[in-house]
């Protein structure tokens, strides 16, 4: 039967550019994905129908990878009007309620496929269907 849209599946993967240069999209080589939900369209087309243990190399256009990585970069959480650093807020309550504010690290910029790369090759193995 193989992987179907809407059904969770765990995949193992590595990425490289066409010239063989390794490419790290920021994931850890193993993902739980649901075809049809927030997945690279070309990668999704390649994964649908795969059986557990099956391996495929799926060529994804670099522009599609870049657009996807940019869309996954969340903006940093809203900050209160205060200088960067640690802060304490004391509020009403028995003994005073305390809120400790710890600054968030700056958001990392999305990793981009190097200019000139036309394709990213995803070497994908289906590890498990759920």
13: CATH: 3.10.50.40
Q: What is the mean pLDDT of residues 98-103?
A: 59
- Cα–Cα distance, 114 to 15 (Å, whole number): 13
Residue 81, in any domain of the structure:
no
For residue 13, what are the β-bridge partners? 124
Residue 27, in any domain of the structure:
yes
Q: What is the mean pLDDT of residues 8-12?
A: 93
Predicted local distance difference test score (pLDDT) of residue 24: 78
Q: What is the mean pLDDT of residues 90-97?
A: 58
Domain containing 43 equals 9-73+87-129
Q: What is the mean pLDDT of residues 77-105?
A: 56
Number of domains within the chain: 1
How confident is the prediction for the chain on average, in pLDDT? Answer: 77
Distances (CA, A) of 28 to 23, 25, 31, 45: 12, 9, 8, 21
């Amino acid at each position: 039967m193989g992987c179907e849209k809407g059904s969770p599946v765990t995949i193992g993967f590595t990425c490289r550019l066409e010239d063989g240069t390794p490419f790290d999209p920021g994931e850890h080589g193993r993902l739980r994905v649901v075809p049809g939900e927030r997945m690279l369209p070309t990668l999704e087309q390649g994964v649908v129908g795969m059986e557990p243990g099956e391996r495929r190399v799926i060529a994804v256009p670099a522009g599609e990878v870049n657009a996807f990585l940019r869309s996954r970069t969340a903006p940093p959480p809203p900050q209160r009007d205060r200088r960067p650093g640690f802060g304490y807020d004391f509020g009403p309550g028995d003994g005073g309620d305390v809120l400790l504010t710890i600054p968030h690290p700056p958001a990392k910029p999305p990793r981009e496929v190097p200019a000139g790369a036309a394709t990213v090759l995803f070497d994908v193995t289906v590890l498990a269907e759920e």
